[in-house]
Amino acid sequence: MTGWLAVAGLGPGDERLVTEEVRATLAEATDVVGYIPYVARVASREGLRLHPSDNRVEIDRARHALDMAAEGRRVVVVSSGDPGVFAMAAAVFEALERRPDPGSFDIRVLPGITAMLAAAARLGAPLGHDFCAINLSDNLKPWELVERRLRLAAQAGFAMAFYNPRSRTRPHQFARALDILREECGPDRLISFARAVTTPEEALATVTLAEATPEMADMRTVVILGNADTRRVGHFVYTPRSAG
């Protein structure tokens, strides 16, 4: 087989945060596959076919990408941020697992800067001690599991980054998540809302859990909850590296 498949992260938005490795790989590609707004970030050129698709069909997209690689094409599947964080890399391996010949594919995963790290850098250092990342969408898991993880992570003292906090199709769950966090962490815990980080629409806000409202988040926001020691210094938010 001469074709290959790369699963590439485009970073949080700013073109300067696309890695050299991803740029070089896109320059060699014959086909780019991905969710419409991410494919739109790839410049078209002669000999490059763009395959934008809707977000809800990740497995179909992965299967299509593998089919094209098997035909000898040089395929890049693009994600925003990092492709391994709530994105296409796992979908590609899920599709690969269903093939009779998984070992015959030339596949590479190219890392990118994930939203929570870009947001944390803007805010200061809220993830300076132990933390976890939770996808608040219940598209691929039951909501009860999200609630259980929120409680256990809070009890374990983790700072937390929340992806997919809120969407039009599930407007009430983030309110419920905030209630659980207030119950577990108290009203004074710091929570930061980082929207469209590194793009012209970037907006940052840090408030206490008592002040937080569901409307502060949307699908372009990553939310970072501090741990019990997280505090402000000047305009920044940071979490000390030692446990208190």
Torsion-angle region of 81 (φ positive above 0: left; ψ -120 to 50: alpha; else: beta): left
Residues 51-80 touching ligand SAH, rule: CB under 6 A, are 79-80
The residue among 12 and 34 lying less far from ligand SAH, judged by its C-beta, is 12
- Which residue among 91, 222, 225, 237 contacts ligand SAH (CB under 6 A)? 222
Using DSSP's 3-state secondary structure scheme, residue 210 falls into coil
Counting contacts by CB under 6 A, is residue 176 touching ligand SAH?
no
Counting contacts by CB under 6 A, is residue 197 touching ligand SAH?
yes
Residue from 238, 234, 210, 235 nearest 224 by CA: 238
Counting contacts by CB under 6 A, is residue 109 touching ligand SAH?
no
Using DSSP's 3-state secondary structure scheme, residue 182 falls into helix
Residue from 81, 67, 132, 134 nearest 109 by CA: 81
**Token pair 């994600």 in the structure block, residue:** 79
- Which residue among 27, 219, 236, 240 contacts ligand SAH (CB under 6 A)? 219
Three-state SS letters, 86-115: CCHHHHHHHHHHCCCCHHHCCEEEECCCCH
Using DSSP's 3-state secondary structure scheme, residue 71 falls into coil
Residues 126-155 touching ligand SAH, rule: CB under 6 A, are none
The residue among 3 and 91 lying less far from ligand SAH, judged by its C-beta, is 91
Residues 177-196 touching ligand SAH, rule: CB under 6 A, are 194-196
The residue among 58 and 82 lying less far from ligand SAH, judged by its C-beta, is 82
Counting contacts by CB under 6 A, is residue 115 touching ligand SAH?
yes
- Which residue among 4, 6, 7, 12 contacts ligand SAH (CB under 6 A)? 12
Q: H/E element holding 116?
A: helix 115-123
Counting contacts by CB under 6 A, is residue 34 touching ligand SAH?
no
Residue 150 C-beta: closest distance to ligand SAH, Å: 15
The residue among 87 and 190 lying less far from ligand SAH, judged by its C-beta, is 87
Instruction: Quote the tokens at residue 75.
Output: 């395929």
Counting contacts by CB under 6 A, is residue 239 touching ligand SAH?
no
Counting contacts by CB under 6 A, is residue 221 touching ligand SAH?
yes
Using the CB atoms, write b or e for 127-137: b if 16+ within 10 Å. bbbebebbbbb
**Where along the sequence are the contacts to ligand SAH (CB under 6 A)?**
12-13, 79-82, 85-87, 114-115, 119, 163-165, 194-199, 219-222
